[in-house]
Amino acid sequence: MRTRYLIGNWKTNKNLKDAVSFVEQFQQNKLNYNAKIGIAPVYVHLTEIKKIISDSLLLFAQDANFIESGSYTGTVSFTQLQDIGVNNSIIGHSERRKYYNETSAVINQKLFACLKASMQVVLCIGEALGQEISFLKTDLTNCLNTIDKSLIKNLVIAYEPLWAIGTGKTATPEVANQTIKTIREYINDLYDENVANNISILYGGSVDHNNIQKLAIMEQIDGFLVGKASLEIKNFLEMARVYA
């Protein structure tokens, strides 16, 4: 059985008070979920949230530099995240690629550093409008270049078509399911059937409490990376109730 996830990517949203309050409210409901539930706040909130977060929530960074320390103004290294007890990170989100020119070569270095340090990583991939799905194979091949099979156990993939992120246009359950199946085939080509069958592949892009159920029933979809709809505790709890 593949692990299922519901992860809120808060991007550059929330002040500290709201972020802490969200976590407190989430933890007040003592439900047992069948999926792993996580949040990815901004860096500067991680330490405070780490103090109050319980085992019921995974804490993710939104990015991690692959260089342990040095002169890289404005970045946070994977070792600094681990130092404050944050062992999960999103890597290669399309907004990092788009606004900060992050290439698959850089993503590859980040993945390697984090996975080697036993961090759990959510690698985001997705095609632009009109781009062939086969682009995902090229991107995966570059992002995972020389990353050994033994490191893949801590890797989760999030399939997020660029045209669906923040647009309100979700991929249909059938399309999301079919594309994730294809991604699994690419992973099979890069590694083997065992890796392909066991890796969790999430869908992301305008998921909310109204559409999550229809997507969730698709057999290839192992969970969700949710942006906008994860910001309100009420919506997040509803998604957790419906899905997790």
Q: With CB under 6 A as the rule, give the number of residues binding ligand PGA.
A: 13
Structure tokens given for 81:
């995240």
Q: Catalytic residue at 45?
A: no
Does residue 226 interact with ligand PGA by CB under 6 A? yes
Active site residue 93: yes
- Report 150-169 residues binding ligand PGA (CB under 6 A): 160, 165-166
Which residue in 9, 88, 177, 179 binds ligand PGA (CB under 6 A)? 9
Q: Using the rule CB under 6 A, is 225 a contact of ligand PGA?
A: yes
Out of 106, 227, 233, 244, the only residue in the binding site for ligand PGA (CB under 6 A) is 227
Range in contact with ligand PGA (rule: CB under 6 A) among 143-151, 185-193, 213-221, 227-235: 227-235
Question: Which entry of 45, 93, 95, 127 is annotated as an active-site residue?
Answer: 93
Q: Cα–Cα distance between 224 and 35 in angstroms, integer?
A: 10
- How far is 160 from 128, CA to CA, in rounded Å? 10
Q: Is 203 helix (H, G, I), strand (E, B) or coil?
A: strand
Q: Is 205 in the site for ligand PGA (CB under 6 A)?
A: yes
Q: Which residue is nearest to ligand PGA (CB)?
A: 227
Q: From CA 219, how far away is CA 175, in angstroms rounded? A: 12
Per-position b or e across 14-52, b if 16+ CB within 10 A of its CB: beeeebbebbeebeeeeeeeebbbbbbbbbebbeebeee
CB 159 within 8 A of CB 201: yes
- The active-site residue, picked from 95, 102, 127, 160, is 160
Which member of 228, 233, 236, 240 binds ligand PGA (CB under 6 A)? 228
For residue 152, CA distances in Å to 138, 157, 209 come to 18, 10, 30
Using rule CB under 6 A, residue 206 touches ligand PGA: yes
Residues forming contacts to ligand PGA in the complex (CB under 6 A) are 9, 160, 165-166, 204-207, 225-229
